[in-house]
Amino acid sequence: MDNAEIARTLDAYAALLDLAGAARWSVRAYRRAADLIRSTPAPVEELVRLGRARELRGIGPGIERRLRELVETGRIAELEELEREVEPELVALGRYLGLGPQRLVALGRALRIRSADELRAAAEAGRLREAPGVGPATEAKVLAALSRDEPQTARRGLTRNRALALADAIAAPLGAVAAGELRRGCELVHRLVLVSSAPGALKRFADQAEVIAVLERDESHAVGVTVDGIPVELVVAPAGSFGTALLRATGSEAYVAGLEPLPDAPAEKEVYARLGVPRLPPELRESPARGEPPPLVEEADIRGDLHCHTTWSDGRASVLEMAAAARDRGYEYLAICDHTPNVRVVPGLDADALRRQAEEIAAANEELAPFCVLRGAECDIRADGSLDLPDDVLEELEWVQLSLHAGQRLPREELTARVTEAMRHPAVRCLSHPRGRILNHRPPNALDLERTIEVALEAGVALETNGLPDRLDLRDEEVGLAVEAGVPVVCSTDAHSVQGLGNMGLSVTTARRGRASAADVLNTRPLAEILRT
């Protein structure tokens, strides 16, 4: 079994545990294990057979037992039991329809419904009202959602990392490529769209483990749904019009409408050539546009990562491990930015600890030269706007990230005053995740971003677009404001593990959606320029 297959199985197991009412921490543990295994370069099956699975951070004895069972037998018996118990097709439909999984399972059992087709037929026949608690409004809601007239989207989107993993798992066997929100680089994906011209792709679609139920299918497309209620659409096009189908499926609708009618062509670049307009990067296709696109930053332009954590704080790898992994990615430098004490919820480094860490950084620099590890800190902002480290230590550091972890719900004026006061400290180089949001969980704070950008320009402070999948903060439109004002942007991962360094692509995509060029991104510059900026 390859790592992707193992990860998919753990994801499915986590989803069914969630549906069965298992403890939240258990569900999260399996999902994190799936993400870890998916991004691990070594073959996990071999590690399991050698009894070394627990060398992977986050794999405890319980998950190790499940992995051993999966590797040795090709299955997890409890997963199959859960599939019989919780009826995943009805659960998927419930989430897709917005009715809730438990409610649709109860409805299905009451009416002896087990599939999307049976549910549609029952709704059209007016039978849904025979089930307890179902009235005209719910019946109408089901009919509208199952209608083939308007594409449905999930109410709660997938973060890009999960959507990318889902797309990779389904697309490969179908010879398909991702389109839609995922290809445009949207921060959340509410409908996964794939395009293929491979023979037999439609027949194989329903066989994919991630597709729990098929909602509709005709000769050129199919729509299924995952156990999380995410609709997955497969568009099948003849090879001679694949480029046209890809452009149309990528969207947005408004952008494509501005180009219609689209000529048939096997590749997207040929569609643009026949239209006589420049090709626009997918990240910029949110609104009608025909002009010459700006030269957007590429991940290959990034020379170093200026925000990561180690075991000195809440990271999972040592300074040397993080630095070696960054060097192996082709970077020239890496800033170690562990937390300071005021953050409280995780270990933080005071002055003494930072000076002890400096010895470890010096040793890593000696071993990895000419690669350079920068002494840094993710320095917390205190309630009075002061920094959480004494000035003499701040002067020693080569890169100071400023962060606000407490006070995200403060009123706009108070929050902005606290942050901008801290930004004026001469040691500060960058403001981390300025809006403090967590996708699907916590809305952005009330920070006055326009005022913050003004102060950043005055103080020579860069603004970060954070690559953690559930942050992506600054978001795309806010990156655009910084770029327009002339404030440098830093594309960082905020990595807490070696695997987390791989989130640079998420940060760069966000910057591209904000129309940032390589010149707008600080860490596209060589080390000497970073040190003297």
| Domains of the chain, residue spans | 3-84, 99-146, 158-284, 299-532
Least confident of 48-57, 150-159, 274-283, 496-505: 150-159
Distance CA 377, CA 397 (A): 8
Task: Note the pLDDT tens digit of each residue in 168-220.
Answer: 989 999 999 999 999 999 999 999 999 999 999 999 999 998 898 898 889 99
List alpha helices for 147-240, DSSP H.
160-174, 180-184, 201-205
Nearest to 160 by CA among 190, 140, 135, 133: 190
For residue 436, what are the CA distances in angstroms to 24, 346, 375, 403, 428? 23, 17, 24, 9, 18
Task: Note the pLDDT tens digit of each residue in 126-140.
Answer: 888 888 878 888 888
**2 has pLDDT over 90:** no
Residues contacting residue 64 through CB under 8 Å, at least 6 positions apart:
48, 53, 54
For domain 3-84, the CATH superfamily is DNA polymerase beta, N-terminal domain-like (1.10.150.110)
With beta carbons less than 8 A apart as the criterion, state whether 119 and 147 touch: no
- Per the structure block, which two tokens stand in for 453? 């950008």
The whole-chain average pLDDT of the chain stands at 92
pLDDT for the residue numbered 533: 65
pLDDT for the residue numbered 225: 92
Distance CA 524, CA 440 (A): 31
b/e 139-173 (16+ beta carbons within 10 angstroms → b): bebbeebbeeeeebebeebbbbbbbbbbbebbbee
In CATH, 158-284 is 3.30.460.10: yes
Per-residue pLDDT band at 495 (split at 50, 70, 90): very high
Considering the entire predicted model, what is its pTM? Answer: 0.87
CATH class of 299-532: alpha beta
